[in-house]
Amino acid sequence: MRAGVAVRDVTPPLGVAMSGFVARTSPATGVHDPLLVHALVVGDTALLTVDVVGLHEDDCARIRQRCALPADHVVVHATHTHGGPASMRGRLGGPVDEAWLERLISTCVEAVDAALAGAEPVEVRAGYGSDPGVARNRRRPGGPVDRTLPVVHLRRPDGSLLAGVVSYACHPVVLGADNTLLTADYPGVVRRVLAERLGGPVLFVTGCAGDANTGHTAAASISTAPAAERTFAECERVGGLVAAAALAATPSPGSAHVAAVRREVLLDLGVPDIAPGDVAAWEADSVRADPARAELLRCWAGWGRRQLAAPAARAAPWAGSVTALRWGPAVIVALPGEPFAAAAHEIRAHAGPGDTVLVAGYSDGCPGYLPPAEEYAHGGYEVEEANRYYGLAGPFAEGGSERLVAAAVPLLSRLPG
């Protein structure tokens, strides 16, 4: 196989609006660590990781279509850091710095093409690291998490590392809403530690982390008060644990097959009824609430006004795609949005023997949470409210996660090897 890698800095200017916490209204005041693009090309396929909370599916399509590789062979993945800038028009706050976003898109294309131009012979090795013990189900104690830690090494003929890939399913929200420094959160620590130890750049891919973080509830983030367990020191600790678990892996070689398959998917929205009285109630409550909750209620009210202004467009399904890549012994399944751990478990159960399977979320579009059917009875932010911050007319209807899995599983049998 032949592979190439390129790394680019896409840190925006200070003063940009940050994204990931509705309660945070302060713009970026500094840079703790750079926001990066990593492009890894293997054969005629590519994986692109970007340190943003998400990218709109239209912008992902623009990147794929402008690359020198076939558009259907390129996966654009957002690491989902909540310490980055607003990066999706109309979703998760804003406003978006349009000039920066255009530079980001161009940089992504340039990085893929540079990696392709610098391709050299490699052997792909893959395996699983140990469970770092970091992820917790953030919705209910003892709930499911994905404890697997896929690790991929691309080694030159002399044994040196061209690039590595590591994936883990845990929300990059170690830092809370009080943080106003641009940061890749714990994935940046994982990459830095592994690059130093392994001798080459390492891509971090966030798994199906819609229901997992390091142990706090989603409601705990509706506050800008500092928390002792959400600091850069804790970020270093968490990233160090994940990196150490990845270093425990012993990746093994396999076939030399390289392939990509993609399938389009339509996901229905469960559009709730909304009346002018709902908007008025949110606005009235915001006057009496503490500042952080007031910002949340104003967000809800703004969402409600937009929905009432465009009722005809509310019921349209969301159109996206699912992609599977094979790099020798490694299989990468890329899902859009924020899937839960159950999706990764189900897809991995259908993989071939000997394959190391990396199931990613946040890929080729990030429109919202995709809970499995059994989670709807539990309600909560991810099921009932997050769509308002995402700007969608409603949450994804029950069965959306299962539809994603049903689209992904047949792709595994279409991959050679």
Q: Is the pLDDT of residue 306 over 80?
A: yes
Same-domain check for residues 280 and 204: no
Q: Does a structural domain hold residue 271?
A: no
CA-based torsion, 101, 87, 411, 39: positive or negative:
positive
Is there a single domain that holds both residue 216 and residue 290?
Answer: no
In percent, how much of the chain has pLDDT > 90? Answer: 95
Domain assignment present for 355: yes
pLDDT confidence of residue 218:
85
Do residues 45 and 108 share a domain? yes
Residue 154: predicted pLDDT:
98
Strands (E), 281-415: 318-327, 330-334, 338-339, 356-360, 369-370
What sections of 122-222 are H helices per DSSP? Answer: 186-198
Residue 267 in any domain: the answer is no
- And the tokens for 342? 């159950």
The whole-number pLDDT of residue 345 equals 98
3: alpha, beta or left, given left = phi > 0 and alpha = psi -120 to 50? beta
- Provide mean pLDDT across the span 271-294: 93
CA distance 195 to 241: 15
In a domain, 30, yes or no: yes
Question: Which pLDDT does position 417 carry in this prediction?
Answer: 82
Last residue of a domain, one of 253, 288, 313: 313
Q: How many domains does the chain have?
A: 2
Q: Is the pLDDT of residue 313 over 80?
A: no
Residue 95, preceding peptide bond in cis (omega within 30° of 0): yes
The confidence score (pLDDT) of residue 409 equals 98
Residue 310's pLDDT is 86
> Which tens digits make up the pLDDT trace of 360-369?
999 999 999 9
Instruction: Identify whether residues 209 and 238 lie together within a single domain.
Output: yes
In terms of residue numbers, what domain contains 293?
276-313
Structure tokens at 154: 């691309």
151 lies in the same domain as 229: yes
pLDDT value, residue 221: 85
pTM over 0.85: yes
Do residues 308 and 329 share a domain? no
My answer on whether 181 and 50 are in the same domain is yes
Structure confidence by residue, pLDDT tens digits, 198-211: 999 999 999 999 99
Residues 6+ apart with CB under 8 A from 136: 145, 212, 213, 214, 215
Domain boundary among 284, 313, 342: 313
Q: Which tokens in the block code for residue 18? A: 């940050």
Q: What is the pLDDT of residues 165-189, one digit of tens each?
A: 999 999 999 999 999 999 999 999 9
Does the structure show a pLDDT above 80 at 312? no
Q: Are residues 137 and 200 located together in one domain of the fold?
A: yes
Give residues with Cβ within 8 angstroms of 1, minimum separation 6.
Answer: 42, 43, 121, 122, 123, 124, 256, 258, 327, 328
Contact present, 234 and 364 (Cβ < 8 Å): no
- Residue 76 sits in the same domain as residue 35: yes
288 and 234 inside one domain: no
Q: Is residue 268 part of a domain?
A: no
Please tell me the predicted confidence (pLDDT) of residue 95. 97
Tens-digit pLDDT profile for residues 249-258:
999 999 999 9
Establish if 269 belongs to a structural domain.
Answer: no
Instruction: Tell me the pLDDT tens digit for each residue of 105-118.
Output: 999 999 999 999 99
Q: Residue type at 290?
A: D
Claim to verify: residue 220 and residue 172 sit in the same structural domain: yes
Which residues, 6 or more positions from 35, have their beta carbon under 8 angstroms from its beta carbon?
9, 10, 11, 12, 51, 52, 81, 84, 85, 182, 183, 184
Indicate whether 364 and 297 sit together in one domain.
Answer: no
Q: What stretch of H or E contains 107?
A: helix 98-117
**Listed residue (233, 243, 127) closest to 195, CA to CA:** 243
On the CB side of 346, how many CA atoms lie within 13 Å of its CA?
Answer: 18
Q: Above 80 in pLDDT, residue 273?
A: yes
Residue 270 in domain: no
- At residue 220, the pLDDT reads 85
